[in-house]
Structure 1
């Protein structure tokens, strides 16, 4: 799914950008380079995401396994600090390698990202100070997934609500996913109660969902049937 990401124009790559040293990635001190392609040139990484330069580690700071790898090939460690999912960061790295003309095997491509995985990609992308415009295709994918995909869960709803303005098409499709899933009785009693508790405790989502639900009077029947089971 890396094709859904677009980096801003940064000019041509340095002439030897695809040469070593290569990057060994970690997140919060934990090795996670097994989630990444084996040879990620440092110059390519810093060309597309300059912010990653602040997390470069000297060789002595690498884990024992990473230090052993650095004996056979020139590696540099980048230990990213933050609540990031390694697979999501890897998708960003795969996209920059594509832009740099590096051929990658099929196993490096995550084809059908879920809502939760798409959220993780956006969180990493914005934390790396990349422009939100580069996520336009990812947002289109998220809208399609909300329209045709499985029922949206409480934690996903809360996260999306905090990530997008109330006027966003993603928020609208999130609401419609909830309405549709409720009408089809795809939620349990516990799930409905948890979601409604969130609505009731915050004025903005409460107003949004009340307005949306008012267009579907049959929701009361569906909700009653769920709680009668």
Structure 2
């Protein structure tokens, strides 16, 4: 796998545009993240087409259902040979265990802790007593015990979690360059800060995909790491 930790989020509505952009920036990123918007629009065919670019594929599907259903979904995507697949840690231990058992041999299963679009006020409104950071730590402990490969968390939590889970695989989304626009991200850090804290994968979308010059933007972020 490419040692560049940047996975570019290509959740674009048009397949040809996503493929063209991936080919333009492929030398400055380590992989391609495809989420729900892309997968619902283009399915297996779209993933196969993006895989032709030659970069590892991260399927960010955030599976969350009863254990049997999640295991079946994992088996259904074996043919796509994703490098990484996400499930929700809040699905519980049995779901996490079944997801890992059903995943492909070379697929890392990572559990989403708390979305980076949520802050402490959102957590309270949902009904959680814990702060966002405390809930992320709690779910990371659950995921570790269930035997998945790692977690998805914000850059604010990754350092504390890595100290408890030294060989974990940590995916950090919601990253913004120092001069970037936050948008819907409420718990964002810079790519360099996340990497220094112990992130294995840096997920970066809009700062690259919506830049006037995506190649220059990707190269600039790569240069900070």
TM beyond 0.5: no
Give the TM-score normalised by structure 1: 0.23
Q: Give the TM-score taking structure 2 as reference length.
A: 0.24
Q: Which has the higher helix share?
A: 1
Q: Counting strand residues as a fraction of each chain, which structure ranks higher? A: 2
Find the structure with the greater CA-based Rg.
1
